[in-house]
Amino acid sequence: MIDIPVMRWGKPYESLEKADVSHFETGEPIARVSQANGGLLARDMRKADGARQLLREFSIDDLIQLTAKAADLFENETLPLGSGTQAPDEFVTHQSASTGLPEVMCRSNMKKNSFVLRNMREILDCLTRGLPWDILSRGYGAESRGVVVSYQAQTSVLGAVLPSNSPGVHTLWLPVIPLQFGLVLKPGSSEPWTAYRIASAFEQAGIPSEAMGLYPGGHDVGSTLLASCQRSMVFGSEKTVNQYAGDPRVQVHGPGFSKIFLGEDCVDRWEEFIELMVESVYVNGGRSCINCSSIFAPRHTHEIAQAIAEKLGPTEPLPTTDPEAGLAAFTTPGVGAAIWNMVQQDLQAEGVTHCTADYGPRLVERERYSYLRPVVAHADNSDCAIATKEFMFPFVTVVKCPQKDMIKKAGPTLVGTAITEDQAWIEQLTAATTIDRLNIGPIATNRLNWLQPHEGNLIDFLFRSRAYQVANQDMVQSLNS
């Protein structure tokens, strides 16, 4: 079994308190993870400025190159991990065993992370809208048109309280190191693997290990991290989102409530879009915030729901090693049943039809874990509670709703795919502040273009654009060159 220490700015620290990361099927421990305490993290945060100072000894360009090297190491090499090492295949089996995600999904998330690491130059170029790197490094500079601009760093490090159940989200914090900010991470209790492996890959690639801290632990570690970092990310439930809403220091990533909107002009061609809808609901076990949880259409909603149900309803849980496995297990006892109870309650409401009811029981309970097979519901109006619900498995409600009411009734939407060519409606959708990422046309909600910002631009979060006036025109000229 691997012993995984707390990493205090690159220095391993073995705690007296350890938590086992166990195999979800057998309960057998895979790793023993040292647990930090809040005070220890608060104390280490006094050295946070040192992380940025160290990284600023490298240029952003150098760090981008080292990040690309880290991508290959992360994806292909055996890397040090705590008391042992971990090969790429072991990473996949460990992650699958502790999270209940099929190996094929773990491998896909691994590729997603290495893709972002490898293509950091293009991603940063888009996030910064082509700003010269020097301006970010120095805090000020001149654009090619000769205008002095300033981007002031708002923190030395980015903190992140990471989830246990969704290894795909790590791409969000990967650009932080090449932007010369340190990282302070609280890995998820059953998914320490990605954070530790990326830290190891960075170190092996030549990025100073003192630029990163890894603090596994309990709730006090998470709250200390959020309190002591000037900029941090947290991944959690709607409750977590509400708790930190309005705190400019915290970027909250919660449920996505991602949706597909079928316009009046395209809805009669609904059959053309069924594959896209199924993919949006089903991919990655329905666990992502970018999975579609509601489909709004003005008509044909029963047929759409039945067609999706036909595709997804028969899906059975398969062993995690099966390349066809599409469902992820709920590894905490009782969670699957609790979610199913909530779904059932919503399904019983007036105007709601359970379209997957004929495909056998949805809740599959095993001794230590459970699965929920896909659920497709139909709501004959957008006021049904189920119309805007999201759950951590392939779940979707097809909602009958006039086009004119869709934006208002849909509520907060992380990814909104609008299948329409109606220019007037596109303008309304573009103006809708409740929609974060907007796809116009038949694009599955899960198909992210990495060159687009996700749930807030990381650059806007880490830097503040401000006035910066320089009297000496020669100095402006030199900045320009």
Partner 1 sequence: MSSSTDLETAKHRAKQELDQHACEMVQRHFHESTGCPFWLQKKSELGFDPLTEIQCYEDLRKFPLFEDEWLRGGPVERWRMKDMSNCPTYVFETGGTTGLPKSRVVVDDFRTDYELFSDTLPDEYFPKGANWLMLGPSGPRRLRLAVEHLAQHRGGICFCIDLDPRWVVKLIKKGWMEHLEAYKIHCIDQAITILTAGHDIQCMFATPKLLDSLCLALEDRGTSLVELGVKGIFSGGTEFTPQWTRYAVEELLGGPAGEGGVYMTPTYGNTLMGLACSKPVTAEEGYKISYYAPQPRAVAEVVSFEDPTSVVGYGETGRVKLTTLTPEFFVPGFLERDEGEREQPFELYPWDGVSGVRPFHQLASSTTVGVY
Task: Quote the least distance from Cβ 242 to partner 1, whole Å.
Answer: 8
Stretch that binds partner 1, among 15-23, 86-94, 251-259, 421-429 (CB under 8 A): 15-23
Please tell me the distance from the alpha carbon of residue 213 to that of residue 260, in angstroms, as a whole number.
39
Check residue 22 for interaction with partner 1 (CB under 8 A): no
Task: Quote the least distance from Cβ 34 to partner 1, whole Å.
Answer: 9
Check residue 227 for interaction with partner 1 (CB under 8 A): yes
Is the CB of 16 or the CB of 424 nearer to partner 1? 16
Stretch that binds partner 1, among 42-50, 229-237, 420-428, 435-443 (CB under 8 A): 42-50
With both helix axes pointing from N to C terminus, report the angle between 120-127 and 103-118 in degrees, rounded to the nearest 10: 70
Site for partner 1 in 185-224 (CB under 8 A): 223
Task: Quote the least distance from Cβ 240 to partner 1, whole Å.
Answer: 10
Check residue 16 for interaction with partner 1 (CB under 8 A): yes
Check residue 319 for interaction with partner 1 (CB under 8 A): no
With both helix axes pointing from N to C terminus, report the angle between 103-118 and 88-99 in degrees, rounded to the nearest 10: 120
CA nearest to 199, candidates 4, 336, 437? 4
Task: Quote the least distance from Cβ 26 to partner 1, whole Å.
Answer: 22
* From candidates 1, 11, 17, 322, binder to partner 1 by CB under 8 A: 17
Check residue 428 for interaction with partner 1 (CB under 8 A): no
Sign of CA dihedral 226, 232, 236, 239: positive
Stretch that binds partner 1, among 35-43, 82-90, 252-260, 337-345 (CB under 8 A): 35-43
Stretch that binds partner 1, among 12-20, 59-67, 296-304, 407-415 (CB under 8 A): 12-20
Sign of CA dihedral 284, 288, 291, 294: positive
Is the CB of 36 or the CB of 71 nearer to partner 1? 36
* From candidates 3, 12, 15, 83, binder to partner 1 by CB under 8 A: 15
Is the CB of 39 or the CB of 402 nearer to partner 1? 39
Q: How far is CA 171 from CA 224, 230, 415, 431, in A?
A: 23, 20, 17, 27
Q: Six-digit token pair at 371?
A: 């699965």
**AA letter at 238:** E
Is the CB of 105 or the CB of 233 nearer to partner 1? 233
Please tell me the distance from the alpha carbon of residue 232 to that of residue 365, in angstroms, as a whole number.
37
Query: Is-contact 86 141, C-beta < 8 A?
Result: no
Check residue 40 for interaction with partner 1 (CB under 8 A): yes
Task: Quote the least distance from Cβ 10 to partner 1, whole Å.
Answer: 17
Stretch that binds partner 1, among 11-19, 67-75, 129-137, 352-360 (CB under 8 A): 11-19
Task: Quote the least distance from Cβ 176 to partner 1, whole Å.
Answer: 24
Footprint of partner 1 (CB under 8 A):
15-17, 35, 37-40, 42-43, 46, 223, 227, 243
